[in-house]
Amino acid sequence: MEVDLKEIVDLLNNHNNFYILTHLSPDGDTLGSAYALCLALQKLNKNVKVLCNDEIPEKYSFLYKDVKLQNFKPEFIISTDVADTKLLGDKLAIYSNKVDLCIDHHVLNSKFADLWYIDPNAAATCEIIFSIINNLNVEIDKDIATCIYTGISTDTGCFRHINATSKSYRIAAEMIDHGADAFSINRLMFDTKTKAQLELERLAIEKIEFSFEGKCAMIILTKDELDKIGIKDSDTNGISSMPRGIKGVLIGITLREKEKNVFKASVRTDETIDASMICSQFGGGGHKCAAGFIIQGCIFEIKEKIQDCIAKILGGKA
Amino acid sequence: MEVDLKEIVDLLNNHNNFYILTHLSPDGDTLGSAYALCLALQKLNKNVKVLCNDEIPEKYSFLYKDVKLQNFKPEFIISTDVADTKLLGDKLAIYSNKVDLCIDHHVLNSKFADLWYIDPNAAATCEIIFSIINNLNVEIDKDIATCIYTGISTDTGCFRHINATSKSYRIAAEMIDHGADAFSINRLMFDTKTKAQLELERLAIEKIEFSFEGKCAMIILTKDELDKIGIKDSDTNGISSMPRGIKGVLIGITLREKEKNVFKASVRTDETIDASMICSQFGGGGHKCAAGFIIQGCIFEIKEKIQDCIAKILGGKA
């Protein structure tokens, strides 16, 4: 059942022991949302614990440095930025049927929870959390502001993606006034690359393949190549936007081999092409200009399947 | 003599024929400022012409598509975002002693004009222009909003640099509400790379040299290498932020050979180190975390001079 902000506030006020679930391969928005809400509820003397299937990458550790660690039995389970139960991951699968409230901004949210608040117009789930915290009458301090700013900035690619609205900028401005150090957050999220990430970029540039008269660019990175660079999986996401960013390219695709013959595909598109529609044909999903899917098989066949799909959109032959 | 916003508004209202001068190697802020002011004054039925030493790169052509081209004799000359007369370039040098009003945000502005308004707290000169246009009571339309947004976004590196304040975000939000297409502007300014730019990145990654225990990273690109890639000089600026962006690097330096043995140095620093101080020792200048200079000579000697300078800051040996 859909709920509104007032109902959410009542639910939060009327319970005391919360688990907040985040999605696997956690990003700045799922974590920023969860920890901002956690910090706000802890300020109201509630017991709150944030859970994630995966170990949280070290670069996000600043988000939870002031979260109190508490042990208790949950009475109300919330998920933030989780579009579907399968994104909870194996470790949190036990909560799949137990999520009381789902707070999300993905248009294709599967409405798996008892109650949900889904706003696809929000650039980030953190924008919704900002409204909830305001309605809870909790004062936004530097730590909460840091979480909310991080979610908005990361989910908008530092205000570059099509989802960033003037509201996103205004909330960001308010978070800066509440103490969020936008410069340091963005430097950490976007501008700091390891030598391995740079080496990955160099390799990716070398391996770009163009098709459809330069309107499609694809990068295929094998597990051997990634292992050779010695890069952590969570450090490879930045590469996804590279092929679409080339002048003239409308569809950019990155295929990274996670295990032998299992590829993670990231699709980025021009605003005239729906990336989530492309990915839904391969069992994946996401946003209009940024989506993904997992695909198994021989890379030559995978490539052919993807190019057949793209031929229907761009016309002509690869 | 310093003037305030009210005096600027009086000066603009009391004259009818304006030249607006921009700096050489024009960027989004000098052009955005000049064209926003030009469009606002043209709305007040003034004659206005924007001048630049260099041909304006095609990527900025959206800024002046609705500017009326007018021929007239100037009675009042303004410069926007120009820190010193030498930045006017050879073609505009004839105006060096004739600038009536200088509007700028560079802290090291040489106050070459009769009148000046310099606000180093403004992230971009466009923030000052925004205040001037508001005080002129000219309604901000989509074209003006586009210019102002572009200046703020480009001078803050799309809200990543340390100069971006909550005010920058709020003005940007207002410009979006007035019709600026932030997504398309940023895609054009930041996310669209030519194949030559990608090839330059690949080469730059290959050529990074680390010194001072990884705290300094330097990239030297010779004219031969740049010619081989066939890249336009105005397309090489993006590379300047690469070396500083590597984890652990406090000072990032890029040296590009413009003519035989003439190098343009771009220095980017961590917020704890003053880039403009480093560059001033070589006759250059700029902002705290981003500055530059031109240096002539044998590259080995140049490298040594720069490393001697850095040794004084970081201590130890290269």
User: pLDDT tens-digit profile of B75-117?
Assistant: 999 999 999 999 999 999 999 999 999 999 998 899 999 999 9
Residues of B whose CB is below 8 A from A199: 205
Q: Of A161, A193, A206, which is closest to B246 when you measure between CB atoms?
A: A193
**What DSSP string describes chain A?**
-B--HHHHHHHHHT--EEEEE--SS--HHHHHHHHHHHHHHHHTT-EEEEE-SSPPPGGGGGGSTTPPP-----SEEEEES--SGGGG-STTGGGTTT-SEEEE--TT----SSEEEE-TTSSSHHHHHHHHHHHTT----HHHHHHHHHHHHHHTTTTTSTT--HHHHHHHHHHHHTT--HHHHHIIIII-B-HHHHHHHHHHHHH-EEETTTTEEEEEE-HHHHHHHT--GGGSGGGGGTGGGBTT-SEEEEEEEEETTEEEEEEEE-TTS-HHHHHHTTT-EE-SSEEEEEEES-HHHHHHHHHHHHHHHH-S--
Residues of A whose CB is below 8 A from B173: 166-167, 169-170, 173
Nearest-angstrom CA–CA distance, A218 and A244: 9
Q: Which of these, A52, A53, A47, lies nearest to A67 by C-alpha position?
A: A47
In the predicted structure, residue A317 carries a pLDDT above the cut 80? no
Lowest mean per-residue pLDDT among A141-145, A312-316, B155-159, B213-217? A312-316
- Measure Cα distances from A109 to A129, A286, B5 in Å: 17, 10, 50
Asked whether residue A214 falls in the same domain as residue A158, the answer is: no
CB contact under 8 A, A191 and B167: no
Residues of A whose CB is below 8 A from B174: 166
In the predicted structure, residue A30 carries a pLDDT above the cut 80? yes
CB B182 within 8 A of CB B57: no
Residue A155: band (very low, low, confident or very high) from pLDDT cuts 50, 70, 90:
very high
| Chain A residue whose CA is closest to B176 | A166
Q: Which of these, A306, A227, A283, A229, lies nearest to A259 by C-alpha position?
A: A227
pLDDT per position as a tens digit, A89-110 = 999 999 999 999 999 999 889 9
Which whole number is the average pLDDT over B190-201?
91
Asked whether residue B95 falls in the same domain as residue B54, the answer is: yes
Residues of A whose CB is below 8 A from B162: 183
CB contact under 8 A, B193 and A246: yes
Residue A36: band (very low, low, confident or very high) from pLDDT cuts 50, 70, 90:
very high
- What does the pLDDT read at residue A238? 81
Which whole number is the average pLDDT over A17-23?
98
CATH code at B55?
3.90.1640.10
- What does the pLDDT read at residue B236? 85
CATH code at B284?
3.10.310.30
Which residues of chain A are at the B interface, by a Cβ-Cβ cutoff of 8 Å?
158-162, 164-167, 169-170, 172-174, 176-177, 182-183, 186-187, 190-195, 198-199, 201-202, 205-206, 208, 241, 244-247, 271
Q: Which of A168, A190, A212 is the last residue of a domain?
A: A190
**What DSSP string describes chain B?**
-B--HHHHHHHHHT--EEEEE--SS--HHHHHHHHHHHHHHHHTT-EEEEE-SSPPPGGGGGGSTTPPP-----SEEEEES--SGGGG-STTGGGTTT-SEEEE--TT----SSEEEE-TTSSSHHHHHHHHHHHHT----HHHHHHHHHHHHHHTTTTTSTT--HHHHHHHHHHHHTT--HHHHHIIIII-B-HHHHHHHHHHHHH-EEETTTTEEEEEE-HHHHHHHT--GGGSGGGGGTGGGBTT-SEEEEEEEEETTEEEEEEEE-TTS-HHHHHHTTT-EE-SSEEEEEEES-HHHHHHHHHHHHHHHH-S--
Q: What is the mean pLDDT of chain B?
A: 95
Q: Which of these, A116, A43, A44, lies nearest to A77 by C-alpha position?
A: A116
In the predicted structure, residue B68 carries a pLDDT above the cut 90? no
In the predicted structure, residue A234 carries a pLDDT above the cut 80? no
In the predicted structure, residue A316 carries a pLDDT above the cut 80? no
CB contact under 8 A, A192 and B247: yes
CB B198 within 8 A of CB A191: no
Q: Kindly give, in sequence order, each residue whose CB lies less than 8 Å from that of residue B156, ignoring residues fewer than 6 positions away.
A: B123, B124, B163, B164, B168
Q: What is the mean pLDDT of chain A?
A: 95
Asked whether residue A124 falls in the same domain as residue A224, the answer is: no
Residue B263: band (very low, low, confident or very high) from pLDDT cuts 50, 70, 90:
very high
Asked whether residue A120 falls in the same domain as residue A262, the answer is: no
Asked whether residue B47 falls in the same domain as residue B184, the answer is: yes
Residues of B whose CB is below 8 A from A287: none
Residues of B whose CB is below 8 A from A160: 158, 183, 186-187, 190-191
| Chain B residue whose CA is closest to A207 | B202
Q: Of A191, A199, A241, which is closest to B160 when you measure between CB atoms?
A: A191
Residues of A whose CB is below 8 A from B177: 166
Nearest-angstrom CA–CA distance, A97 and B201: 48
Q: Which residues pair with B266 in a beta bridge?
A: B254, B292
CB contact under 8 A, B191 and A162: no
Asked whether residue A208 falls in the same domain as residue A274, the answer is: yes
Task: Measure the CA angle with vertex A227, ends A226 and A230; round to 5°.
Answer: 90
Q: What is the predicted ipTM?
A: 0.86
Residues of B whose CB is below 8 A from A193: 245-247
Q: Would you state the structure tokens that stand for residue A296, as one six-digit string?
A: 């198994």
- What does the pLDDT read at residue B220? 97
Which whole number is the average pLDDT over A249-274?
95
In the predicted structure, residue B261 carries a pLDDT above the cut 80? yes
Residue A70: band (very low, low, confident or very high) from pLDDT cuts 50, 70, 90:
confident
Q: Of B162, B201, B245, which is closest to A192 when you measure between CB atoms?
A: B245
Asked whether residue A157 falls in the same domain as residue A288, the answer is: no
- What does the pLDDT read at residue A29? 98
Q: Of A187, A198, A246, which is closest to B205 when you measure between CB atoms?
A: A198
In the predicted structure, residue B313 carries a pLDDT above the cut 90? yes
| Chain B residue whose CA is closest to A217 | B195
- What does the pLDDT read at residue B124? 98
Q: What is the C-alpha R_g of chain B?
A: 20
CB contact under 8 A, B192 and A167: no
- What does the pLDDT read at residue B45? 97
Residues of A whose CB is below 8 A from B192: 245-247
Asked whether residue B117 falls in the same domain as residue B157, the answer is: yes
pLDDT > 90: percent of chain B = 87
Residues of B whose CB is below 8 A from A198: 205, 208, 246
Residues of B whose CB is below 8 A from A145: none
What total of structural domains would you count in chain A? Answer: 2
Q: Which of B205, B242, B288 to mutate to test the interface with A (most CBs of A within 10 A)?
A: B205
Asked whether residue A136 falls in the same domain as residue A202, the answer is: no
Nearest-angstrom CA–CA distance, A245 and B191: 5
Q: Which of B165, B176, B242 to mutate to test the interface with A (most CBs of A within 10 A)?
A: B176
Asked whether residue A177 falls in the same domain as residue A303, the answer is: no
| Chain A residue whose CA is closest to B185 | A160
Asked whether residue A84 falls in the same domain as residue A174, the answer is: yes
Q: Which of these, B126, B139, B105, lies nearest to B35 by C-alpha position?
A: B126
CB A135 within 8 A of CB A149: no
Q: Which of these, A23, A27, A34, A21, lies nearest to A240 by C-alpha position?
A: A27
Using DSSP bridges, classify how beta strands A262-269 and A17-21 pair: parallel, antiparallel or unpaired: unpaired
pLDDT per position as a tens digit, A108-141 = 899 999 999 999 999 999 999 999 999 999 999 9
CB contact under 8 A, A202 and B198: no
Q: Which of B141, B175, B190 is the last residue of a domain?
A: B190
Q: Which of B165, B190, B215 is the last residue of a domain?
A: B190
Identity of the amino acid at B305: K
Asked whether residue A151 falls in the same domain as residue A47, the answer is: yes
pLDDT > 90: percent of chain A = 87
Q: Which domain holds residue B256?
A: 195-314
In the predicted structure, residue A235 carries a pLDDT above the cut 90? no
CB contact under 8 A, B183 and A169: no
CB contact under 8 A, A165 and B176: yes
Residue B256: band (very low, low, confident or very high) from pLDDT cuts 50, 70, 90:
very high
CB contact under 8 A, B202 and A205: yes
Torsion, Cα of A58, A59, A64, A70 (10° steps): -20
CB A306 within 8 A of CB A265: yes
Q: How many CB atoms lie under 10 A from the CB of residue B259?
A: 9
Lowest mean per-residue pLDDT among A266-275, B45-54, B228-237, B287-296? B228-237
Q: Which of these, B10, B34, B40, lies nearest to B133 by C-alpha position?
A: B40
The answer to whether the pTM exceeds 0.90 is no
CB contact under 8 A, B160 and A167: no
